[in-house]
Amino acid sequence: MLGDSEIQDLGRSLGNVLHENQQHHENLQGLLQKFHDLLDTYNQLKSDYEEEKEGRERYKKLVRGQERNPFALVLVDGDGYLFKDHLVREGAEGGTRAAQLLNDSIKALLSEQLGNQADQCRIMVRVYSNLLGLSKTLARTGLVGNEARSLSSFSSSFTRSQDLFDYIDAGDKKEGADYKIREMFRLFVDNNQCKHIFFAGCHDAGYLSLLTPYRGKADRITLLKTASFRPEYDKLNLPVREISTIFTSSPPSPPVGGSNVIPVTRPVCRHFQKGTCRFGKDCTKLHIMPNQPFSKPFYENSTQPASFAAKCRDQEYYNRNLPKMSSKSQECIALNKDGERIDTYCPMPSPEEWELYSRRAKRQKLCNNLHLTGECNNIDCEFDHDPIEPACLNTLMYLTRQLSCSRGAGCRSIKCYLGHHCQKDGCKGTKPCKFNRQGHTLDLQVAQWVTPIENEDGSLVSDGSSEANSTADQNNTAAFNMKDMIQL
């Protein structure tokens, strides 16, 4: 039989075992609780990771989608940026031509910004204007008819000609076009698919607040210039470009011979137009309303007599009145009713054509005789005889037309490539223009076509007395470099 001390020892041992078991159980429960907590945390983190992963995948798909269809946006306030007169006058055909010219010009400007990536960008154009009010204004100048919304044939043709081009009637409310342009700008300025915005609204200082937050963002915004470009926009530190082949650089011209045209022989009083002229009837300036059409005289200058006053002719005038290059003009010479020679129309080269010609002429001056008449009889000719691009040929022809033929309107040589009257846009007859008064006032109405001197009696005139030789450009003076072009 166990003694009391042994029984007590066994009791203490049993108590220790029970305590250890209890402690082990508590430790096990704590460990299990930590495991469950850790498992819950893991599951939560895993869920967050999966959501983040899905979000990244959606973002990648969105980015890929935005990169898939890049475009450049052109916003035009059509109430301030007017298309060239000759384009508007041509109606539906002019709208198609305007859209094509604008598309080509924007692609060229976009290449300056994006380089090779520009080829992947489509061009989106939004033109907003008060179509009714603009039609009335243009009707007063004789560019469109007098019916309501007579500009619609031009605008609808502009819209149809390109997939992403829209000429939109913003209504007759004062801020209609402004509101549309502002909202379109805000919608796309931070859009990754929109690679660049060309903004044509710089005639109105009201857009400054819209563009100011993007000061200096030359990689996103380019300003397009017009005649009424506000100088405040220069402070935005944004690139400014001009598309002179599309947007007019002056107000619409009045109809020729219209009864409502006021001839201006003195400056216009701007104070009267604002209603603040204090001189009243004693004012020495002309009092006419801002929208009242008027004709401007050919201003007198130091190189012409005081009696020399004629209307200033522009490219639209020459395009409308001069005969075009044709098979007939290559065989015969056009004369007016006074027997004076009329040149065929020679359009002003585009900036791209100027640049192409400049690069070519810097290497070596082109031979005018070879490229413009098809032959050069000088075996020691030092000028460039290599084939040239059509753009270079057009520019060379335009430059030689700026040089006055010594025989003037009496020249009858079909090989004479010099000018027989002025065709320079807006020329006032001052230096450096080479033409006299007759060259700026010549009647351009074709009355007859005559046989050139080379083809008279079926034979060429002798070299010693050839009228073609009398007008030849022996020194190749028309092969100008870019500095010469600027002086013209």
pLDDT tens for each residue of 51-71: 888 888 877 766 665 567 899
Q: What is the pLDDT of residue 237?
A: 92
Shared domain check, 207 and 99 = yes
Shared domain check, 354 and 208 = no
DSSP secondary structure string, 258-274? Answer: -TTPEE--S-B-HHHHT
Residue 116 confidence class, pLDDT cut points 50, 70, 90: confident
Burial track 173-195 (b if 16+ CB lie within 10 A, e otherwise): eeebbbebbbebbeebbeeeebb
pLDDT tens for each residue of 302-326: 333 333 444 678 888 888 889 998 8
The CA distance from 357 to 392, in Å, is 5
Query: What pTM, to 2 d.p., does this model score?
Result: 0.45
Q: What is the mean pLDDT of residues 275-296?
A: 57
Q: What is the pLDDT of residue 301?
A: 35
pLDDT tens for each residue of 332-347: 999 988 888 999 998 8
The answer on pLDDT for 282 being more than 70 is no
The answer to whether 215 and 189 have CB atoms below 8 angstroms apart is: no
Residue 296 confidence class, pLDDT cut points 50, 70, 90: very low
Structural domain includes residue 199: yes
- Max CA pair span of the chain: 164
| Cis bond upstream, residue 252 (ω within 30) | no
Q: What is the pLDDT of residue 442?
A: 86
Kindly report which listed range (299-308, 326-335, 421-430, 454-463) carries the lowest average pLDDT score: 299-308
Residue at a domain's end among 195, 221, 242: 242
Shared domain check, 173 and 319 = no
Q: What is the pLDDT of residue 476?
A: 58
Residue 141 confidence class, pLDDT cut points 50, 70, 90: confident
Kindly report which listed range (97-106, 138-147, 454-463) carries the lowest average pLDDT score: 454-463
The CA distance from 485 to 350, in Å, is 13
Q: What is the pLDDT of residue 106?
A: 93
The CA distance from 488 to 475, in Å, is 18
Shared domain check, 346 and 231 = no
Shared domain check, 225 and 349 = no
Structural domain includes residue 170: yes
Q: What is the pLDDT of residue 181?
A: 94
CATH number at residue 237: 3.40.50
The answer on pLDDT for 467 being more than 50 is no
Shared domain check, 349 and 209 = no
∠ CA(420), CA(424), CA(427), 5° rounding?
A: 110
Shared domain check, 351 and 221 = no
Shared domain check, 342 and 237 = no
The CA distance from 425 to 346, in Å, is 11
Residue at a domain's end among 242, 263, 298: 242
Q: Which domain holds residue 127?
A: 71-242
Domain tally, the chain: 2
Structural domain includes residue 188: yes
Shared domain check, 336 and 228 = no
The CA distance from 375 to 467, in Å, is 17
CA atoms within 13 A on the CB side of 112: 13
DSSP secondary structure string, 432-477? Answer: T----SHHHH------EEE--GGGGGGSPPPTTT-HHHHT--TT-T
pLDDT tens for each residue of 16-42: 888 888 888 888 998 999 999 999 999
Q: What is the pLDDT of residue 62?
A: 64
Residue at a domain's end among 188, 209, 242: 242
Shared domain check, 194 and 111 = yes
Structural domain includes residue 328: yes
Q: What is the mean pLDDT of residues 255-270?
A: 49
Q: What is the pLDDT of residue 278?
A: 62
pLDDT tens for each residue of 175-194: 788 999 999 999 999 888 89
Q: What is the mean pLDDT of residues 163-180?
A: 88
Structural domain includes residue 305: no
Q: What average pLDDT is seen over the chain?
A: 80
Structural domain includes residue 455: no
Residue 214 confidence class, pLDDT cut points 50, 70, 90: very high
Q: What is the pLDDT of residue 131?
A: 92
Structural domain includes residue 390: yes
pLDDT above 70 coverage of the chain, percent: 79
Shared domain check, 211 and 83 = yes
DSSP secondary structure string, 209-252? Answer: HHHGGGTT-TTTEEEEE-TT--GGGGGG---EEE-TTTB-SSPP
The answer on pLDDT for 384 being more than 80 is yes
Q: What is the pLDDT of residue 456?
A: 57
Q: What is the pLDDT of residue 169?
A: 93
Shared domain check, 319 and 237 = no
Residue 241 confidence class, pLDDT cut points 50, 70, 90: very high
Structural domain includes residue 337: yes
Q: What is the pLDDT of residue 338?
A: 82
